[in-house]
């Protein structure tokens, strides 16, 4: 992986739906090239260009003829799953934003409502931690 790698570069690598599908397929377990090509609806060029970008960005590697996530790729995948969880809970998070903007409820009551609204412990941890 080049030193010039940035967050934006890595995110661009998996930013479109087809790249994300390829990345997720690899994340679900090591997979050989033929099986991977069969599971994605990509042309040969699309498949190899996306896989090349993922390899160059350090997300994926080929080991014993199978593609797997690198340690870095696993961290990026976990972060992507957090974003997916946030999207699943988008309207609950919007409601929490509204609660936090309101000065009508004491902080303790706001926290009780947040605990009731949001059952995802990972997202609760992020909200408690703050920016």
Q: Exposure pattern of 7-42 as b/e (b: 16+ CB <10 Å)? A: eeebeebbeeeebebbbeebbeebbeeeebbeebeb
Whether residue 64 is found in the same domain as residue 115: no
Closest by CA to 33, choosing from 65, 71, 78, 74, is 65
The C-alpha atoms of residue 67 and residue 50 are separated, in whole angstroms, by: 13
- State the pLDDT at residue 113: 84
- Between 25 and 103, residue with greater pLDDT: 25
- 66 lies in the same domain as 94: no
How many domains in the chain? 2
Is residue 19 one of the residues assigned to a domain? yes
Q: 65-117 pLDDT, tens per residue? A: 999 999 999 999 999 999 999 999 999 999 888 888 877 778 888 888 888 88
User: Of 43, 70, 97, which residue constitutes the final position of a domain?
Assistant: 70
Which pLDDT belongs to residue 128? 77
Kindly report the average pLDDT of the chain as a whole number: 89
User: Are residues 14 and 49 both part of a single domain?
Assistant: yes
11 shares its domain with 65? yes
Question: By residue range, what is the domain housing residue 56?
Answer: 7-70
Residue 98 lies in a domain: yes
Report helix, strand or coil for 119: coil
Residue 81 lies in a domain: no
Residue 59 is classified by DSSP as S
Residue 79 lies in a domain: no
Torsion of CA 23, 29, 31, 36, to 10 degrees: -40
Q: So what's the pLDDT on residue 53? A: 95
Instruction: Identify the pLDDT of residue 98.
Output: 87
Assess whether 63 and 109 both reside in one domain.
Answer: no
Position 4 pLDDT exceeds 70: no
Q: Minimal CA–CA distance to 96: which of 61, 45, 130, 58?
A: 130
Helices H / strands E in the chain, number of each? 8, 3
106 and 52 share a domain? no
**39 vs 18, 22, 51, CA distance in Å?**
11, 8, 14
Q: Are residues 60 and 105 in the same domain?
A: no
CATH number of the domain residue 21 falls in = 1.10.10.10
| 2-21 average pLDDT score | 87
Q: Verify that 108 and 66 share a domain, yes or no.
A: no
The least confident of 48-52, 58-62, 100-104, 114-118 is 100-104
In angstroms, rounded to a whole number, what is the distance separating the alpha carbons of residues 17 and 80?
A: 13
């Amino acid at each position: 992986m080049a030193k010039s790698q940035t967050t934006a570069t890595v995110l661009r690598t998996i930013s479109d739906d087809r790249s994300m599908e390829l990345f997720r397929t690899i994340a679900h377990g090591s997979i050989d090239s033929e099986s991977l090509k069969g599971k994605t609806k990509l042309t040969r060029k699309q498949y190899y260009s996306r896989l090349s970008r993922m390899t160059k960005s350090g997300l994926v590697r080929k080991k014993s003829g199978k593609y797997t996530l690198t340690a870095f790729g696993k961290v990026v995948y976990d972060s992507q799953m957090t974003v997916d969880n946030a999207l699943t809970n988008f309207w609950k998070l919007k409601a929490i934003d509204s609660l936090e903007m309101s000065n009508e409820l004491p902080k303790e009551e706001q926290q009780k409502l947040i605990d009731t609204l949001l059952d995802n412990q990972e997202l609760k941890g992020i909200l408690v931690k703050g920016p």
